[in-house]
Structure 1
Amino acid sequence: MFYFSDLYSYASHYEPTDLFDFLGNPQLAEDYETNCLQLAFMPGAEELDILEDIFWDYAEELGLAYYSFYLPENHGMPNELMAALEAKNYQLASYQVFQSPANLIQPEPIHVDWQEVNDEASFQAYLDFQTPFDQAAPPALRDSRALRYQMAYQNPWISQALAYQGEQLVATWDLIDQGHFLEIDNLTVHPDYRRQGIASQIVALSQEKAAQSANPLLALADIENPSMALFEGLGFEALSLVNRIHRPLDEADAL
């Protein structure tokens, strides 16, 4: 059984405790997806105040800009906590962790040429493709995502790839080798080429790579993202649901 905490993180600092794990990276100071406490318990309103005090200390040390907490997987939030989050103007996001089936539903074959990102020119093509789509992301994440792409390019365990139809770059994605499983990430298809089976073909190719080492393929999908339907349609198993809450740090919080 795999969990959200098994998935890849761009954190450079990691501190485990019995009640939470802290993950952070001062290079990604505004990246509330990376800088977080992963909680082992569901807090109440008073416990949330204590957790904010704890997070503040980490934030001061690393120069972080947001509170961010991942709540325990597969747990609903009590009304008391929901009221506290609303009062403090927290934002909520929910994610589904998926695992590939033993026998992937095979998509209709389409002609797409694949190229691994292996030099500065191909990485620049990857970056030029991804950047316009990241403009729709919250401002706090735009710059950090560009830096994460650079970190991935320099990481020998992460493969970045390009998909072409003719000379047209139509999709990009990452495949992360976690040792006992592979993780697909940053799968992006150009809007003009969506609903043509390209994403399904990429997932099938990634599943083949995972099968070569007898490992499963994992994916994380925002529940409001179309990728949910993609993985469900290919027969992926939903392993767990995780909620993240975040809000900007305020100097008033330190008083």
Structure 2
Amino acid sequence: MPRQFLYKPPIPQTEPWPPERSEPGLLSDEPARDVYRAACAHLGRALEPLGFKYLKSKQRCIARRSRFTNEVAFQSSHYNVSGRHVQLWMHATVASEELQAWRARCLPPELSSAHVAGGMVHLLGTRFAMVQWELADPQDREQTIQDAIQFIHSEVLPYFERFESVENLLAELATAAVPAFDLVPSVEFSCCFGGTAQAQATLDRFLRDRPDLQAAIAAESVSPSPAALSRPGGYAQQVVFLRHHYNLQ
């Protein structure tokens, strides 16, 4: 269980509770929504010195760099129970207006998004199966929020930093997969910022890593489904999509 998986089970009903609490076993009388929003605001303030702007209405922090936009977004659970569970999940994504404009020249308008890479923060590396923070207990809430801030510094910001060195990232994509950087956007990134040869190198690396897909790719190539040329699903369709739109082998 990763250090950041700070889940605390509810207090057993056999355990005494403070008399000032309105229900047995409650950790506090604070509404779950208020606890979550206050924690998001705290995280937002912590990121402001790093160039992020906190958007209170959306619970997300955005920083516009020279070529890329970095976003840290917060999410909670529909299953929160005030005084018992207040979950905090975190997403980190990289976007590029330059890549979006390049896609607009190559693809139908509905496919020209600015998304580059990212997702839930446990996907940014290979060490964690899942990461979440439990905010319900006011006694350790500050420590929990500080742990979330530390996680951003140790895991999220270094991930963002990888994209600032485009040449190094292009070279890396030709030799190894980058976490939370899916096949289609990674090849598009390579084509946009490096050219067709770089895109081919990224696709070739993927095909070397996945020889088990050869039969499915061959079958899809003979008779491409409409989805393969518009919104591909599985890897075989994605490879056909890339070859069709970007003249790759």
TM-score, structure 2 as length reference: 0.27
Higher strand share: 1
Higher helix share: 2
Quick check: which has more Rg, 1 or 2?
2
TM-score, structure 1 as length reference: 0.26
